[in-house]
Structure 1
C-alpha cells in the first residue's frame, strides 16, 4: 500500500508539472499570435454594431497604428504614420466589410493616421503657405502627407488597413483579387508633380480653375495663365472662353467618370476632349471599382475588361498625351485626410454617409495646396453663388447650382472663404464694386 501511494504521489507531481508547462506554452503561443494582429476597433460605440474585424499585420506596424481619438486639428505629429517600413506584409486579406453594416461613418482608432513621405522638401519661398502663422491651419496641415498611390507602397497590410474605409478613402466592400491586379500596375512617380521654374525666385505659383459661373465675363484668363502652373478638373472647357479662364493646363484631375462623361455633357459648349496640353500631367482620383477597371486598361494599353467602360480604350481619352511618367493616382490616405481635417460634413452621420465626399474640385485645390507655395482659386463657390449660372460656359440657357447629397457644397463654400480670409490662398470673388482678382503674391 505504501509503495502504491508513493507511485500515485509521484504521478500526480508529473501530471501537475506537465499541465503547468503546457499552459505556459499555450499562453506564450497566444501572446505571440495576438502580437501579430491588431483589431480594427471603432472609436465610438453608438450607431455601429458591426463586430470588430481582425486585421493581419506585423508587430512593427502594430506599434505604428496608434489611437488618435483627439481632435484632428490638434493631434501631435508624432502620432502620424511614418514612411513605409521593411516589415513583412500580412498573409491574407481581412474579411470584407459592408457599408450597410454601419448606420453612419465608422470612426476607427486609427482613423486619423496617415502615411507620410519622409520630411517635407526644403522650400525657399518666403511667401509659401507652409509659412502660414495661422495656428489651426498649421495643426491640420500635413505638408508631407503621402499624395500618390503606386505599386511599391501597397501590400497586404496596407490593403487590410485601407479596407476599413469606404471608397474613395479605402477599399471597403472590395475584394482583394478584384482590385490588387490594377494597383500593382501603377508606376512609382519618377519626379514630384511640380518643380520650381528654372531661374525663378523659388516660389511655385499655381492657379486652380473650377467651372463656376462666376468666371463668366471675369476677364481673368490672362491672370490665370500668368501662373507657373494651372490646375483644372472635370469639364474644363477653354476654347472660346480663353478671355475668362485662360487656355493653359498643367495638371488635369479627373475620375474615370468625369473624363468620359464630360464629353457628352459639355459637347454643346465645344468640349471635345480632356485638356491635352503638351507635357500635361494627369491625376486620377480612384473613386470606385470602375476607376480600378479603367486603370488596368489604361496602364496596359488595352480596352477595359469589365464594368461600365467595358471595351472602351482609356488611352484614347487623353488625346495622345498619356505618358506613364506623367500619370499619378491620388492615395486614399490623402483623400481621407482632406475629408477628416478640412471637410468633415455632418452628413456623414446620416444613413447615406457612404456617398458623401468632397468634390473633385476640393481634392484638386488641396492637391495644389500641397504641391505649390502660392495658390489662387478661380471658379469655386462663393457666398453670392446664386447670382451666377452653374457653369461659366453657359451663355444661352443658364442653369442653377443643384446641391446633390453626395457633396456638402455649403461646407466647401465656407471653407474657401475661411482659407481666403486667413490668407492661405486667394479666392476669386466678385463684390458690389467689381471683381476681386486673386493677384499673385
Structure 2
C-alpha cells in the first residue's frame, strides 16, 4: 500500500508540473515595473547612432513614466511615434490661428518584455504646430533629413519659437517641471503672460519673418551660421558669409576689424541674458560692446531664467527692467533705439529640450551635472537654422583639429579651447561632422580630411 501511495503522489506531482508548464506557455509574463526603474549608475547612454535611436523613437509620457519600447521589436510593428502632444494649425500667410487637438500616436506592442523607463526629467514629449512652409524649395533640408540617419530624431512640426498663443495655464503646468532652458521651471505664470503676450505677430513665431521681401526670386533660403571659433582667423570667408540671405551670430560676436574673415551682416543674434552680460564683461577689451545693431537684425533669446523674460518685456515696451540682476537697466542700451516687439524672438523650451534629448543626448545626463547640462548657445542656433532654413552653411564651429586654433577668432594670443560641465562640446563637434557628411549642412573646415 505504501508503494501505491508513493506512485500516486509522484504521478500527481508530474501532472501538476505539466499543468503549470502549459499555463506558463500560454501566459505572457511581465516583470514588475519596479524591477525596470532606470538606475543612472548602471544604465549607460552612449553617443552612438543606435543609442540615440533607442532613446527617441517612441512616445515617452513623462507624467506616467511610460515604458520604453525595444527598438528592434517595435520597428517590425509600427513606425516611430512623433512624441508630440498638441497640433496647433496656423493656416494661411496671414497668421490666422485654427487650433486642433490630436491624441498621441498609439504605442506598438513590444516584441519582448519592456525595458527601463525614461527618467522624468527627460520629457521627450512636445507640443506640435502645423506651420505652413515659407518656401517651395525642391531640395531643402526638411525634405532630405527624413531620409538621413537623423530622420528618426527629427520632428517636423515642433515649434522652434514661443509666442503669445503658447502661454496657457495648461502649458504652464506641463512645462514648469523642467528647469532652465528646457521648460518654465521657476517662471511664474504672471511673468510669462506679461512677456509672451507682447509676442503676438507672425514676426515672433517665424524665424525668417521677412522672407517675402528678401528672397529676390530665390526658391530656397540660404543661411550662414557663424560661431566664434578661432578657425575663422585668416579664413577670408567674410564676403561668402555676407552673401547668404540670412546671417546668424551668437554671444561675443566681435565684427569690427574682422570683417574680412567673418563678414559684417547679422540678421539673427542668439543669446541668453546671462551670456550677453558675460560676453560684455569678457570681450569688451577686444571690441565687443553689445549685440550687433542694424535694421535687419533680429534678437533671439535663449531663456534660462526669468531675467530673460523680464529683459524681453522691457525691450519690447521700451521700459526699464523691473527686477532681477538687470533691474532699472535700459534695454535700448543693448538692442538700439529702434528695437520693437517685431524684432524679438524667443526659443520654445520644448525645442531646446528636444535638441538635448535627441540630437545632443550626452552622457552628462547620467551624472551629477545633468541638471545644468544643455546645448551650447551656438549649438541651439545652428540646429534652429537646420529646422528653419533650406540650406545651412556653418562657420567657426569646432572641428577635430580644434587644438590648432585659438578659442576665438578675435583672441590677441592663443587660448586653448575650454570645456565645461554644462555643455558637451566634443559631442556637438561629432554631430556637426555627421550633419556635414549627410549633406544637411556645409561645415567650414580647414582640413577636409577631418572627416576620415
TM-score computed with the length of structure 1 as normaliser: 0.74
Q: Secondary structure at the match of 1:136?
A: coil
Please identify, of 109-118 and 160-169, the stretch whose mean Cα deviation from structure 2 is larger.
109-118
Counterpart for residue 310 of structure 1: 327
Contact 1:214 1:379 (C-alpha < 8 Å) held by counterparts: yes
Q: Secondary structure at the match of 1:260?
A: helix
Counterpart for residue 418 of structure 1: 434
Q: Does 1:147 align with 2:160?
A: yes
How far has the Cα of 1:292 moved from its partner? Answer: 2.3
How far has the Cα of 1:175 moved from its partner? Answer: 4.0
Tell me how far apart the structure 1 counterparts of residues 294 and 34 of structure 2 sit (CA, whole Å). 46
Contact 2:164 2:199 (C-alpha < 8 Å) held by counterparts: yes
In the alignment, which of 67, 80, 83 is matched to residue 84 of structure 2? 80
Counterpart for residue 361 of structure 1: 378
Tell me how far apart the structure 2 counterparts of residues 302 and 199 of structure 1 sit (CA, whole Å). 37
| Pair 148,66 (structure 1): closer, same or farther in 2 beyond 3 Å | farther
Counterpart for residue 37 of structure 1: none
| Pair 114,66 (structure 1): closer, same or farther in 2 beyond 3 Å | farther
Q: Does 1:156 align with 2:169?
A: yes
Counterpart for residue 51 of structure 1: none
| Pair 335,65 (structure 1): closer, same or farther in 2 beyond 3 Å | farther
How far has the Cα of 1:79 moved from its partner? Answer: 4.2
Contact 1:377 1:428 (C-alpha < 8 Å) held by counterparts: yes
Q: Structure 2: any 5+ residue segments left out of the alignment?
A: 1-32, 41-60, 89-97, 102-116
The C-alpha deviation readout for 1:246-302, integer Å capped at 9, x for no partner, is 001111111112223322221211222211121211111111122123223223322
Counterpart for residue 430 of structure 1: 446
In the alignment, which of 110, 125, 140 is matched to residue 137 of structure 2? 125
Contact 1:65 1:110 (C-alpha < 8 Å) held by counterparts: no
| Pair 152,44 (structure 1): closer, same or farther in 2 beyond 3 Å | farther
| Pair 69,154 (structure 1): closer, same or farther in 2 beyond 3 Å | farther
Tell me how far apart the structure 2 counterparts of residues 162 and 42 of structure 1 sit (CA, whole Å). 26
In the alignment, which of 405, 418, 424 is matched to residue 408 of structure 1? 424
In the alignment, which of 338, 350, 366 is matched to residue 349 of structure 1? 366
Q: Secondary structure at the match of 1:121?
A: coil
Q: Secondary structure at the match of 1:81?
A: strand
Q: Structure 1: any 5+ residue segments left out of the alignment?
A: 1-40, 49-61, 89-104, 437-441
Counterpart for residue 37 of structure 2: 45
Tell me how far apart the structure 1 counterparts of residues 156 and 378 of structure 2 sit (CA, whole Å). 19
Counterpart for residue 69 of structure 1: 68
In the alignment, which of 304, 318, 321 is matched to residue 287 of structure 1? 304
Counterpart for residue 403 of structure 2: 386
Counterpart for residue 275 of structure 2: 258
The C-alpha deviation readout for 1:218-256, integer Å capped at 9, x for no partner, is 111111111111000101111100110000111111111
Q: Secondary structure at the match of 2:350?
A: helix
Q: Does 1:330 align with 2:330?
A: no
Q: Secondary structure at the match of 2:247?
A: strand
In the alignment, which of 136, 144, 148 is matched to residue 135 of structure 1? 148
The C-alpha deviation readout for 1:291-339, integer Å capped at 9, x for no partner, is 1232232233222222211221123210224121121111111111111
Q: Does 1:171 align with 2:188?
A: no
Tell me how far apart the structure 2 counterparts of residues 341 and 351 of structure 1 sit (CA, whole Å). 20
Tell me how far apart the structure 1 counterparts of residues 448 and 150 of structure 2 sit (CA, whole Å). 30
Tell me how far apart the structure 1 counterparts of residues 202 and 252 of structure 2 sit (CA, whole Å). 26
Q: Secondary structure at the match of 1:390?
A: coil
| Pair 387,120 (structure 1): closer, same or farther in 2 beyond 3 Å | same
Counterpart for residue 120 of structure 2: 108
How far has the Cα of 1:212 moved from its partner? Answer: 0.3
Contact 1:231 1:252 (C-alpha < 8 Å) held by counterparts: yes
TM-score computed with the length of structure 2 as normaliser: 0.73
How far has the Cα of 1:71 moved from its partner? Answer: 8.1
